[in-house]
Amino acid sequence: MLLMIAKRMLLAIPSLIGVVIVTFLLTRALPGDPAAYFAGPAGTKEAIEQIRTKLGLDRPLYEQFVRYVKDLSKGDMGTALTTGQPVAADIRARLPASAELTLLGLVFSMLIAVPLGILAATRPNSLIDHACRVVATAGVSLPVFFTGLILVYVFYYLLGWAPAPLGRLDVFFSAPDQVTGFYLIDSLIAGDGGTFVAALKQLALPALTLGIFSLAPIARMTRASMLAVLASDFVRTARASGLPPGMVVITYAFRNAMLPVVTTLGMVFSFLLGANVLVEKVFAWPGIGSYAVEALIASDFAPVQGFVLTMAVMYVALNLIIDILYGLIDPRVRIEA
């Protein structure tokens, strides 16, 4: 297992190097000039050139890249011109908000999609099976920002059940002492039930939006994988041996159907990290997605590069976790590694 993890980490190094190079080149190819943006409409050519010189944008591209790589090797992602703070500090402050939202959305979709897929596979062409198809079709068809706006309109504007979509906490509550950066966990550690409920209410609609978006692939893959396993010989043998149906489905069939589902969960999590950008803008969520969008509008290179590099590292770490889960679920993976 340790050898497999080491191999995966070594294979991830060229990918991260490629991400650094591509991100640097793409940010420089974006339209707009950060010096002109920060000089303002009334900025003169002399003022714009002074800002460009101060930012190092007047140097050749290879010199800018060498400087960027040297700073990156020291853990310095640069300074965000839009906030005036180091990019690494901004990302550390905003990443827990995005991670909490993404994980809660994924948990919500798993709690619905996995049982729904199992029931649909064990009862093909039934009402539950048709409901699974409808849910999968709706989840794929609805754009994530449209789903968020509909939920806000119904649950906040019409029914008044949800709080205003304005961040992680209502204005009448203060953030708990930071331990993990996750408001739900930190409020429980502090024993503050009121803040926990308030944070959960703020999380409900954006997490539901992401959950609806990710329901379709998880439910479809669970159903397809379970159908394939339920038709196998060892499941028929288990049923012929007189084992309870629940044991056959969960202990024998679902465990052997988990590998494709785990792979789908990893892909869905990476999709949700991208969908976070739209959801955070709809719900005014102070995560790294909205941070990157604001920097992109201002042609602020450093935050965009830091955002993409952070997403790449998280994606590599996610793939590593999936490989470890493969080994825990199926011993044959450990033997082959």
- Residues 233-260 have pLDDT tens digits of 888 888 888 888 888 888 888 888 888 8
From residue 313, alpha-carbon distances to 113, 231, 269, 273, 326 in Å are 27, 39, 14, 12, 20
Q: What is the CA radius of gyration of the chain?
A: 24
Outline where 231-286 has alpha helix (H): 233-240, 245-247, 255-256, 258-282
Q: What length does the chain have?
A: 337
* CATH number of domain containing 249: 1.10.3720.10
Number of other residues whose CB lies within 10 A of the CB of residue 196? 19
Q: What percent of the chain has pLDDT over 90?
A: 5
127 with 204, same domain?
yes
85 lies in some domain? no
Residue 81 C-alpha from the chain's centroid? 25
Average pLDDT score, the chain: 82
7 lies in some domain? no
The confidence band for 196, taking pLDDT boundaries of 50, 70 and 90, is: very high
154 lies in some domain? yes
The confidence band for 139, taking pLDDT boundaries of 50, 70 and 90, is: confident
The pLDDT of residue 4: 66
247 lies in some domain? yes
Per-residue tokens: 46: 């002399």
148 with 247, same domain?
yes
Averaged over 72-100, what is the pLDDT? 85
The residue type at 325 = L
pTM exceeds cut of 0.85: no
101 with 154, same domain?
yes
176 with 40, same domain?
no
153 with 289, same domain?
yes
**Total of domains in the chain:** 2
Given a contact cutoff of 8 angstroms between Cβ atoms, the answer to whether 337 and 7 are in contact is yes
Averaged over 261-278, what is the pLDDT? 81
Q: Identify the residue with better confidence: 140 or 184.
A: 184
From residue 324, alpha-carbon distances to 119, 165, 192, 261, 334 in Å are 28, 37, 36, 14, 9
Averaged over 131-147, what is the pLDDT? 80
187 with 67, same domain?
no
| Lowest-confidence region among 27-41, 124-138, 276-290, 294-308 | 27-41
Q: Report the distance separating Cα 310 and Cα 301, nearest Å.
A: 14
E strands of 65-188, at which residues?
Answer: none
Q: Report the distance separating Cα 322 and Cα 328, nearest Å.
A: 10
E strands of the chain, at which residues?
Answer: none
The residue type at 159 = L
40 with 119, same domain?
no
50 with 146, same domain?
no
In which domain, by residue range, is 47 found?
A: 32-76
Given a contact cutoff of 8 angstroms between Cβ atoms, the answer to whether 178 and 211 are in contact is no
Q: Does 1 score more than 70 pLDDT?
A: no
Q: Report the distance separating Cα 180 and Cα 113, nearest Å.
A: 28
72 with 95, same domain?
no
- Could you give the count of Cα atoms lying within 13 Å of 273 in the half-sphere of its Cβ? 18
The pLDDT of residue 333: 58
SS3 79: strand
107 with 190, same domain?
yes
Burial of residue 3, with CB atoms counted within 10 A of its CB: 0-12 exposed, 13-18 middle, 19 or more buried: exposed
Note the pLDDT tens digit of each residue in 281-336: 889 888 888 888 888 877 778 888 888 888 888 887 887 777 777 767 666 655 55
5 lies in some domain? no
Q: Report the distance separating Cα 249 and Cα 235, nearest Å.
A: 8
The pLDDT of residue 200: 92
160 lies in some domain? yes
Per-residue tokens: 97: 């908000």
Averaged over 137-149, what is the pLDDT? 81
292 lies in some domain? yes
The pLDDT of residue 254: 85
The pLDDT of residue 331: 64
* Phi, psi for 285 (deg, rounded to 5): -85, 125
196 with 286, same domain?
yes
57 lies in some domain? yes
The pLDDT of residue 122: 86
Burial of residue 194, with CB atoms counted within 10 A of its CB: 0-12 exposed, 13-18 middle, 19 or more buried: exposed
Residue 121 C-alpha from the chain's centroid? 28
Q: Does 16 score more than 60 pLDDT?
A: yes
107 with 209, same domain?
yes
Q: Report the distance separating Cα 274 and Cα 147, nearest Å.
A: 16
